[in-house]
Amino acid sequence: MPLLNSKAVILHSQRWGEADRIITGFSQRAGKIRAIAYGARKLKSRFGGVLEPFNLIQLTLFERTPTSLARVSQAELLESFSAIREHLHLMGQAARMATLVKAITADHDPNEALFQALVGGLRALTTTPDPQGVMLVFQIHVLDHAGFRPEMGSCTTCGSSLGTARGWFAPWSGGMICAQCRHTQSGPCLSMAPGSIAFVNQAKRLPFPVVTRLRATGQVRREVEEALDAFIRTILGTPLPEIASWAAEDEPRYALPVSSARS
Amino acid sequence: MNDRTQSALVRLTRELVRLPGIGQKTAQRLAFHLMKVDKDEALRLAQAIQDVKERVTFCVQCRNMTESTLCEICQDPKRDRTKILVVEEPSTLHAIEHSKAFNGLYHVLFGALSPLEGVGPSDIRAHELENRVKAGGIEEVIIATNPTIEGEATAIYLTKLLRPYGVRVSRIAYGIPVGMDIEYADEVTLLKSIEGRRECP
Ligand SMILES: [Zn+2]
Ligand SMILES: [Zn+2]
């Protein structure tokens, strides 16, 4: 009997010993898993390139080895999102997605919605003219599904409804606080325009791939990005790594007319 | 066995176990073996290790290992100086040399780029390679990085870096190992070999 047979996305793949690999994946049926693929780096390995990061695979794991890691017994490629591998910027964003999922989830904790967001996010990266925009809505979805849904509708401190005015995002509180509480609390707050609050609310409601049609520009994008960065830093205790500048410049150029790129 | 001999043996085992691919059992067997063989034979190993550490450095041009300023390959007048083959590790260079498939010069990166893990162009001395191309006389740069995410990232970066100098930048073909039945190849390898197909001559 296999320990697990499930779809999974490879989050991280690390060389191990002479010819092996240790993979971290996020599986549909068992959540985050770590497993060892013996001989994966050998020429005639049946795993070949299947266990590379970002691949969506059908994974079969078998009994635990003496190292307490499960052993990969089968891995079949379902989707490789190959466009990601053609641009350094996309590789960087995909790596940030994988890093976030890896850091925010616990082992063996299945989460169907999060799995779908991960597949949807990677798939969206392969077609979008706006990778940062995809990353923005991806972060909102992952936070939501991992149990850190930012509270945007009412004050996290006194519970009063916030209405449609400009508000303040308080990362340490898990959401917005009202104007009054803002003066009695000492933690840092980030100003959010009504448009920014509406963007986060809409992004939470819409599933992938529809959510990628939401476009945040200008001030809204800046405010939402800052709020998410601060919130993730608070949750993980460390910021999500930035894409190195030498990679960030290498973006795909789509020959799309501006109107269809913005629709 | 008294305490001193035991600790020397333990120390040797501990050093051996730190080598790549050597487990506790193998390390113990090697340590016992070295204890049993002639003193001369054992010390030849010690001497060889010492020589490697004291004499071998990196070639100033390609960063291959060498005992002089320039490695044997860079010094060899029979090599084709218009081609540079780029590898991640010296072990890849030696595998290619052993195959006699390439007669040009090399460039050893000692690693591969990673957009998030902080391995940038300066860590793999990408600009030393750029300078070699900039200096002229190079017609083709062949990138032979591993077919991993990091290897792909490195290939993309180097291609963009070097193309403006008017050199041909190519990558080695990735695909089905020779002698293997195609049906046993994994899907990614199959995909790569179809992508990397070429016209029949
Ligand atoms: Zn309040
Ligand atoms: Zn050299």
The reply to whether A199 falls in a domain is yes
| Confidence band for A228, pLDDT divided at 50, 70 and 90 | very high
- Please state, rounded to an integer, the average pLDDT across all residues of chain A: 89
Give the model confidence (pLDDT) of B75-119 as tens digits. 999 999 999 999 999 999 999 999 999 999 999 999 999 877 778
Which range marks the domain in which residue A200 is found? 128-239
Rounded CA separation A61/A3 (Å): 5
Residues of B near A (Cβ–Cβ under 8 Å) read: 20-21, 113, 115-116, 118, 120-121, 147-149, 152-153, 156-157, 160, 177, 180, 184-189, 191-192
* ipTM, interface predicted TM-score of the complex: 0.82
- Whether residue A48 and residue B113 make contact (CB cut-off 8 A), yes or no, is no
| Across B16-37, average pLDDT | 90
**Nearest of A161, A163, A152, A157 to residue A205 by alpha carbon:** A152
The reply to whether A190 falls in a domain is yes
Question: Do A235 and A134 sit in the same domain of this protein?
Answer: yes
- Is A109 in CB contact (< 8 Å) with chain B? no
Q: Where in chain B is the domain with CATH 3.40.1360.10?
A: 78-175
Question: Do A63 and A144 sit in the same domain of this protein?
Answer: no
Give the pair of three-digit tokens for residue B103. 């007669």
- Please state, rounded to an integer, the average pLDDT across all residues of chain B: 91
| Across A90-107, average pLDDT | 95
Question: Helices A88-104 & A131-143, crossing angle to 10 degrees?
Answer: 10
Give A216→chain B minimum CA distance, Å: 25
Give B187→chain A minimum CA distance, Å: 6
Q: Where in chain B is the domain with CATH 1.10.8.420?
A: 3-55
Question: Do A154 and A74 sit in the same domain of this protein?
Answer: no
Domain tally for chain A?
Answer: 2
- For the segment(s) B78-175, the CATH number from 3.30.70.260, 3.90.1410.10, 3.60.15.10, 3.40.1360.10 is 3.40.1360.10
Q: In the listed set A46, A61, A82, which residue is the last one of a domain according to the structure?
A: A82
Measured between beta carbons, which residues in chain A are less than 8 angstroms from residue B147? 49
Lowest mean pLDDT among A53-67, A101-115, A209-223: A53-67
E-state strands within B3-128 = 57-58, 65-66, 80-87, 104-108
Counts for chain B of helices (H) and strands (E), in that order: 8, 6
Measured between beta carbons, which residues in chain A are less than 8 angstroms from residue B152? 85, 91
- Secondary structure (3-state) at A56: strand
Lowest mean pLDDT among A31-45, A80-94, A221-235, B177-191: B177-191
E-state strands within chain B = 57-58, 65-66, 80-87, 104-108, 140-143, 168-171
- Cis, bond preceding B77 (omega within 30 deg of 0): no
Instruction: Give pLDDT, residue B4.
Output: 60
Q: pTM (2 decimals)?
A: 0.85
Q: How far is the CA of B88 from the centre of ligand 2 (A)?
A: 14
Give the pair of three-digit tokens for residue B148. 């991993």
Instruction: Give pLDDT, residue B179.
Output: 81
Give the domain CATH number at A55.
2.40.50.140
CATH number of the domain located at residue range(s) B3-55 in this protein? 1.10.8.420
Q: How far is the CA of B122 from the centre of ligand 2 (A)?
A: 19
* Residues recorded for chain B: 201
A40 touches A18 (CB < 8 A): no
- Is A92 in CB contact (< 8 Å) with chain B? yes
Instruction: Give pLDDT, residue A263.
Output: 33
Q: How far is the CA of A185 from the centre of ligand 1 (A)?
A: 10
> Is residue A251 over pLDDT 80?
no
- Secondary structure (3-state) at A259: helix
**Nearest of A223, A109, A244 to residue A171 by alpha carbon:** A223
Question: Do A147 and A78 sit in the same domain of this protein?
Answer: no
The reply to whether A93 falls in a domain is no
| Strands A167-170 and B80-87, sheet pairing | unpaired
Instruction: Report phi then psi at A148, rounded to 5.
Output: -120, 35
Measured between beta carbons, which residues in chain A are less than 8 angstroms from residue B111? none
